[in-house]
Amino acid sequence: MQKLEVFGAKKLKGQIKISGSKNASLPILAATLLSRKKIHLKNLPKVKDIQTMLSLLKSLGSKIKVKKNETIIDNTKQRKKFASYNLVKTMRAGILVLGPLLAKFGSAKVSLPGGCAIGTRPIDIHLKALSKLGVKYKIDQGYVIANATKGLRGNNIRFSKISVGATENLIIASSFAKGTTILSNCATEPEIKDLVNFLNQMGCKIKWTSKRTIKIIGVSQVIKTSYSIMFDRIEAGTYLLAGAVTEGNLKIQNIIPNIIKTEIDILKKIGSKIIIKKNEVQIFGNKKIKGMKIKTAPYPGFPTDLQAQIMVLLCKAKKNSVIQEDIFENRFMHVAELNRMGAKILINGNKAIVKGDIKFVSAELMATDLRASVSLILAALTAKGKSVINRIYHLDRGYEDIEKKLRKVGAKIRRVN
């Protein structure tokens, strides 16, 4: 199994170009199922989760051509409506094909994704909302078997809790429902806005009517489209934090700074110097880091997907910090490994009490999930000597060319078998 070796205590310096967003690409790929025309997508990141979604689409009958700068999805002859456990089990976003398959065919059988390391992650909100569009479903042997014999019908739906995936599934499904759908208490992550832009460009009729409310007028067909996916804001935040923890000087490029305003403001408060340009943010890490209280929250709050990475920075603060995880119930798996590197983090329910003024020491480590893996790299980058990170297949799910990008800015990092 592949591992990463990191030789730390080097200040990172230079430029990093951010790839396309994994979390925007996944629902957009699922939404291509609505179309019977060719769709050209640019800026899909070259990461494992995207390959898994492409395999899932192929298993449903999509024809896919991957070229250097674009991926062409041809669903003219796509007929299958069965998403197997083998493909959905490795990536929860597989459940996003349920909405478009129901919209297109009126029935579908999709594997339940199951839990994962960071929590139980049910899909009850997706299913309850789909039933309001006229879907009847049962769960049988680990599969959702769903039918809408009279087709999907628009309705007023209020999500009981803000969910990124449920909002996406319902936007896609309602785009082809008869009549008008109003979705309220929606997630407003930039990736959802990207999905809406993509669908509207395909001819769907979707409008944000207030901060968390969307109005969708159903259509029955869509047009040929070419679309470029937004930048990955979690990748951008991760490299900003790499600049901060190594007290380096990094220019993070190909981004829209305003989308990551919350993260930039927090980094400034903690003590980093930041220069914002049109499509670039430059960070100068600082030795003096202030402790902070941070809570994860739906966008525009601080993202749960950067919680592990910012914890590494807060370990170096002069005072103690508290990080409250309000999205997932079990997202502190990285803490045990960070503590093995010399951190002093205590877990109390959904709070992590992070003792400051820590110097990380190198160690052999085990990655547990995607963002936990990258937090271990950040800690290893600050520690003298060699750290070895095992189970990096988690990392490959979501970070394109991470070793290459880090090496380019001076990190000593390599993949070994």
Residues contributing to the site for ligand UD1 (CB under 6 A): 23, 26, 92-93, 119, 121-126, 161, 163-166, 187, 304-305, 327-328
Say what the alpha-carbon torsion angle 369, 374, 376, 382 is, to the nearest 10 degrees: -170
CB neighbours (10 Å) of residue 181?
26
CB atoms within 10 A of CB 77: 9
**Nearest residue (CB) to ligand UD1, 37 versus 351:** 351
Q: Which residues pair with 414 in a beta bridge?
A: 5
Least Å from the CB of residue 125 to ligand UD1: 3
Cβ neighbours of residue 262 under 8 Å, at least 6 residues apart? 300, 301, 302, 303
Minimum Å distance from CB 191 to ligand UD1?
Answer: 6
Check if the beta carbon of residue 226 is closer than 8 Å to that of residue 37.
no
- How many whole angstroms separate alpha carbon 340 and alpha carbon 315? 13
CB atoms within 10 A of CB 89: 16
Q: Are 131 and 60 in contact (CB under 8 A)?
A: no
Cβ closer to ligand UD1: 234 or 274? 234
**Residues 39, 228 contacting (CB under 8 angstroms):** no
For ligand UD1, give the closer residue by CB, 125 or 244.
125
Q: Are 153 and 174 in contact (CB under 8 A)?
A: no
Nearer to ligand UD1, 214 or 383 (CB): 214
| Single-letter amino acid, residue 72 | I
Q: In angstroms, what is the minimal distance from the CB of 90 to ligand UD1?
A: 13
Q: What sign does the CA torsion over 229, 28, 241, 382 have?
A: negative
Beta carbon of residue 294, minimum distance to ligand UD1 (angstroms, whole number): 15
**Which residue do the tokens 């060719």 mark?**
38
CB of 139: closest distance to ligand UD1 in angstroms? Answer: 13
Residues 6+ apart with CB under 8 A from 106: 147, 148, 149, 151, 152
Of 285 and 303, the one with the shorter C-beta distance to ligand UD1 is 303
Q: Which two tokens stand for residue 337?
A: 């490994």
Rg of the chain (C-alpha set): 22
CB-CB neighbours of 176 under 10 Å? 22
Q: Which of 116, 186, 204, 315 is catalytic?
A: 116
Least distance from C-beta 410 to ligand UD1, angstroms? 29
CB atoms within 10 A of CB 160: 11
Specify the residue, 26 or 381, whose C-beta has the smaller distance to ligand UD1. Answer: 26
Map residue 355 onto helix, strand or coil: coil
Is 186 noted as a catalytic residue in this protein?
no
In this complex, which beta carbon is closest to ligand UD1, that of residue 231 or of residue 328? 328
Continuous H helices in 322-361: 333-340
Question: Measured from the CB of residue 285, what is the shortest distance to ligand UD1 in angstroms?
Answer: 25
Catalytic residue IDs: 116
